[in-house]
């Protein structure tokens, strides 16, 4: 049976191992949504991979907060597997059992270009397993602080591309809630006076700050939605291309925004700017 969502030549065994296909090769509705999200993201990443390969030969990609490595495995299956050479995908994940499972599955399927590191991103930046040159850093719904860890790592390594589908923006919402009493003396605080608005505004502000930070460090951004909102509420896609020309005025705007919202003291280090 042909399933239109699956590309020609794609590994059916991989999709079964990732529980996207059932053991008898069928695709349920939940899996169809998951596959659509990953394929949409792959569609954004593939042209970047091709550009790097044409310029530099091998591609070095780091996937932060990789989890079960859906993205890494599918990228390897669709792009890296056919090209071979010195291209690599490095999945970084703190849960040792997921790293062990990834290594075992990659070995069983013959995905020689995949590597897995079981450590926090904050400690993985200087890992000897990682190459000196990093071309692309990805973070797909990376939990806790992994999205910001991915940004920090990519900025430090001067990655050419950064591809983010952000998640876990609760910290800013918590700080807005903490300072709500004093902030209500200003009309702007009406933007997050109600609890549901605090959560939504906190999520929005987090991603705005991330974008300003990336621009301040010399990246040109495209910010769009990944798929329709019916598929996922965590749907914002940020694709950053390094230009090497820091936008100082964006850094100034970031600082102004932190001061306006009363977040400067707590978040200055998290959203650090070029020296």
pLDDT, tens digit, 9 for 90 and up, residues 144-193: 678 898 999 999 999 999 999 987 668 888 999 988 888 878 888 899 99
Residue 231: per-residue pLDDT: 44
Residue 258: per-residue pLDDT: 94
d(CA 78, CA 75): 5
- At residue 12's C-alpha, the angle toward residues 31 and 58, to 5°, is 100
Residue 248: per-residue pLDDT: 94
Q: What is the pLDDT of residues 68-82, one digit of tens each?
A: 898 999 999 999 888
Percent of the chain with pLDDT over 70: 93
d(CA 195, CA 193): 7
Task: Write down how long the chain is.
Answer: 275
Fold (CATH) for 29-267: Rossmann fold (3.40.50)
* Highest-confidence segment of 6-15, 36-45, 199-208: 199-208
Residue 35: per-residue pLDDT: 79
Q: Which residues of 203-222 are buried (b: 16+ CB within 10 A; e: fewer)?
A: bbbbbebbbbbbbbbbbebe
Closest to 211 measured CA to CA, from 197, 223, 200, 203: 223
Q: Does the pLDDT value for residue 142 go beyond 90?
A: no
**Mean model confidence pLDDT for the chain:** 88
Q: How far is CA 18 from CA 34, 71, 91, 92, in A?
A: 11, 10, 15, 18
Question: Which is more confidently placed, 57 or 33?
Answer: 57
Residue 233: per-residue pLDDT: 53
For residue 5, name the pLDDT band (cuts at 50, 70, 90): low
Phi/psi of residue 184, each to 5°? -65, -10
Domain boundaries, the chain: 29-267
Q: Does the pLDDT value for residue 230 go beyond 70?
A: no
Q: Does the pLDDT value for residue 1 go beyond 70?
A: no
For residue 49, name the pLDDT band (cuts at 50, 70, 90): very high
Q: What is the pLDDT of residues 80-134, one digit of tens each?
A: 888 777 899 999 999 999 999 999 999 999 999 999 999 887 788 788 899 999 9
- Spell out the residues 6+ positions from residue 238 whose beta carbon is closer than 8 angstroms to its own: 162, 163, 164, 165, 166, 207, 210, 211, 214, 221, 222, 223
Residue 4: per-residue pLDDT: 55
The pTM assigned to this predicted structure is 0.92
For residue 232, name the pLDDT band (cuts at 50, 70, 90): very low
């Amino acid at each position: 049976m042909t399933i239109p969502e699956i590309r020609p030549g794609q590994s059916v065994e991989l999709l079964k191992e990732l529980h996207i296909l059932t053991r008898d090769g069928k695709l349920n509705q939940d899996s169809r949504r998951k596959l659509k999200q990953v394929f949409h993201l792959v569609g954004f990443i593939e042209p970047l991979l091709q550009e790097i390969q044409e310029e530099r030969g091998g591609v070095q990609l780091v996937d932060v907060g990789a989890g079960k490595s859906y993205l890494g495995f599918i990228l390897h299956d669709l792009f890296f597997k056919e090209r071979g050479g010195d291209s690599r995908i490095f999945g970084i994940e703190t849960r040792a059992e997921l790293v062990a499972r990834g290594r075992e599955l990659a070995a069983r399927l013959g995905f020689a270009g995949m590597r897995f590191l079981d450590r926090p991103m904050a400690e993985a930046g200087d890992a000897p397993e990682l190459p000196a040159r990093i071309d692309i850093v990805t973070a797909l719904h990376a939990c806790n602080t992994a999205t910001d860890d991915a940004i920090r790592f990519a900025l430090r390594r001067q990655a050419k591309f950064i591809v983010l589908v952000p998640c876990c923006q609760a910290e800013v919402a918590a700080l807005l809630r903490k300072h709500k009493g004093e902030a209500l003396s200003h009309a702007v605080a009406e933007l997050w006076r109600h609890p549901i608005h605090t959560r939504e505004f906190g999520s929005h502000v987090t991603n705005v700050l991330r974008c300003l930070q990336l621009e301040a460090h010399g990246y040109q951004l495209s910010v769009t939605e990944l798929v329709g909102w019916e598929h996922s509420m965590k749907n914002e896609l940020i694709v950053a291309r390094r230009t090497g020309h820091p936008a100082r005025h964006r850094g100034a705007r970031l600082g102004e925004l932190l001061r306006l919202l009363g977040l400067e003291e707590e978040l200055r280090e998290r959203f650090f700017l070029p020296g």
